[in-house]
Chain A
Amino acid sequence: MTILDSQSLESAAAPARDDDVVLRVRDLKTYLYTKRGVGKAVDGVSFDLRRGETLGLVGESGSGKSMTCLSVLRLNPEPASRIVGGQILLRGEDLLQKTDSEMRTVRGRRIAIVLQDPMTALNPVLTIKDQVGETLRLHQGLRGRTLWQRAVELLKKLRISDPERRLNSYPHQLSGGMRQRIVSAIALSCEPEVLLADEPTTALDVTVQAALLKLLKDLQREAGFPILFVTHDFGIVARMCDTVAVMYAGKIVEKASTATLFRSPAHPYTQALLRSVPDVLVETERLASIEGQPPSIFALSQGCAFAPRCPHVMDRCRVEYPSEIRLAQDQTVRCWRHA
């Protein structure tokens, strides 16, 4: 990585002050080790997450966005995958240098995560009270009456009606949206410094999704925790995120403030992706579709991974991976066209 990289990571949203940075990821590499060989699932990803900021990590399946998210908590599936390089700095402390037991105090308390499927995130045989209570007991040492009161308070904050009754129910008795709120309640129970959200609304109905997104946004406004929002949906980015990082084949190919990205996307992949989504508010004549398929992370070439599908491909693209190019204060791109 060049020096340019670390400078370029300055977020678009806020005028950059270094003490604002809560989570700083530098040149993160997580590789998959399988019978087929080594797959570069996450290959040199860097970003900063500032107080109150929401960064959207966008990409299609296999782009490495979820693996990046899991790697931050060192929850990437072992031994199939290993973090082989980089730094994950939580307020300056490198999480990759921590022991497993130190990591356990980070997970849940300092960095919380909400995953896609609320049903698997909850234990079906325990009541909501047990599950919400567990984190509070473990990390905050609450017991008995105070524990109960804190749990009720928490559910109220997540706008869950009738919290006393919900606390005594089991996960299957709740709707999907309600379950995801419970999961979020657990995640936020210890007032984490960072919230990781891996497609938290994908399994939900649209109106339920809208309500949950608004809720997360409101809670963030109150508490100021930054969110790393992993999604494949540009609609969610438009509604939730201040900054966007577009991932393709394990690398961030473009990073910009949300408004800039939608107004003037610079990477051919981002451009094509934006033109391939229909919109509900305007009539679409015909969607652009990207020919071909994403490359296998097990067989990446020297050059730009998007080159085989890129309409603007040049000779240089096939042999040399583009370095990060700053287009504006709030936009960087990895594409030789802009060099």
Chain B
Amino acid sequence: MSGQSDTLLEASHVKKYFPVRSRIPFSSAKAWVHAVDDVSFTVRAGETLSLVGESGCGKTTTAKMTLMMEAPTAGSMRFRGQELSSLTGQRLRDYRGAVQAVFQDPWSSLNPRMRTARFIGEPLAVNTALSRPEIDERVRSLLVSVGLDPASAANFPHEFSGGQRQRVAVARALALDPQVVVLDEPVSALDVSIGAQIMNMLRDIQASRGISYLLIAHNLATVRYLSDRVAVMYLGRIVEEADSEELFRNPQHPYTKALISAALTIRPGEKTDEIILSGELPSAVKLPPGCRFHTRCPFAFKKCFVEEPQYREIAPGHRAACHLH
């Protein structure tokens, strides 16, 4: 798929290991947290790819690597064919403009001492040669496009509600006309009705601007509503990937099934088999041998304890890593 012209972001065999300090002083034996362990995906123009999983699955670290907040330990991360680590100067600035982010916590995303106009306009002030009045003009139209009153440009963050703050954060992310926006849990800190407003707004913005989203989320309902394709992560690895509808209708990996079963639905009639996972998430320092899910998998058999399953295509566009297939 890497050859396709509409591929924007491409990660292939990306790994990120963090060293853990040994408890014994001066000991040279190093241990590693396998935060992301051989992950590959592509984000194509105009689509939403979601990385789903529970805490510790490596989805946030993956997002940080695409945002160049962390450098991969191994593997390659490319944007329009260019290796991210090789970007410098103008190329790097272009990348900054092309890939932006919205984070989970709208209270932490906004600088409490900065007025909205300056906050939204900052990417323009830093990366372009626009004059102050031109920036102000852009800020006003950005505010309108996220459904805020242009007069609120002079507000400080504390004068906004959570939903409004998240709109401000989106406006800033859109300032440089990005091609990809990384959405890291964009609605999980918001109230239900406000979350719906933000999700609808994100869909509208995508439709009108044709941008791509890389959505990081743990809530499957949010993922289903917003995504075109979904990749499920467990302990640093993608265990299943498919088109959104296919994945939710026809999940193949036991972990995906457990996730869907655990997700709370308000339509009790549609209930699937209940799969309650037992045990705890294994340590990412000492990964279990064989399939890394076998310690909690209700369907695990002998092979799973010793041999790591291949991540392969089980149906067109549907890949999974499980010995059951």
Contact = CB atoms under 8 A, between A and B. Distances in A.
Contact of B225 (A235, A239, A273, A284): A284
Contacts of B191: 60-61, 232
A125 interface: no
Contact of A238 (B54, B193, B219, B265): B265
Interface of B: 54-55, 161, 163, 191-197, 199-200, 203, 218-222, 224-225, 245, 248, 258-268, 270-272, 274, 276-281
A236 B276 contact: no
Interface of A: 60-61, 161, 175-178, 205-211, 214, 232-239, 259, 262, 272-274, 276-284, 286-290, 293
A61 B189 CA distance: 11
A60 B192 CA distance: 7
B276 to A, nearest CB: 5
A235 B265 contact: yes
Contacts of A239: 264
Contacts, number: 127
B192 A293 contact: no
Contacts of B199: 278, 287
Contact of B196 (A61, A236, A276, A279): A276
A214 B248 CA distance: 23
A238 B225 contact: no
B221 A280 contact: yes
20 contacts: A60-B193, A61-B191, A206-B54, A209-B264, A210-B264, A211-B277, A232-B191, A234-B192, A274-B266, A279-B265, A280-B264, A281-B267, A283-B224, A284-B224, A287-B200, A288-B196, A289-B197, A290-B196, A290-B197, A293-B163
B9 to A, nearest CB: 25
B interface, by DSSP: helix, strand, loop or mixed?
A: helix
B268 A278 contact: no
B264 A286 contact: no
A251 to B, nearest CB: 17
Nearest to B198: A289
A232 B267 CA distance: 16
Which of B219, B220, B258, B263 is packed against the most chain A CB atoms within 10 Å? B263
Nearest to B279: A161
A273 to B, nearest CB: 6
Contacts of A235: 221, 263-266
Given A273-B192, A287-B199, A279 B221 contact: yes
A282 B225 contact: no
Given A206-B218, A262-B266, A283-B245, A293 B259 contact: no
Nearest to B276: A211
Nearest to B193: A290
Given A207-B276, A278-B222, 4 more contacts: A232-B192, A276-B192, A283-B224, A287-B199
Which of B203, B245, B259 is packed against the most chain A CB atoms within 10 Å? B259
Given A280-B260, A281-B272, A205 B55 contact: yes
The 7 closest A-B pairs by CB, nearest first: A235-B264, A276-B196, A210-B262, A278-B225, A205-B54, A60-B191, A280-B263
Given A283-B224, A293-B163, A276 B262 contact: no
A22 to B, nearest CB: 26
A142 B184 CA distance: 48
A262 B268 contact: yes
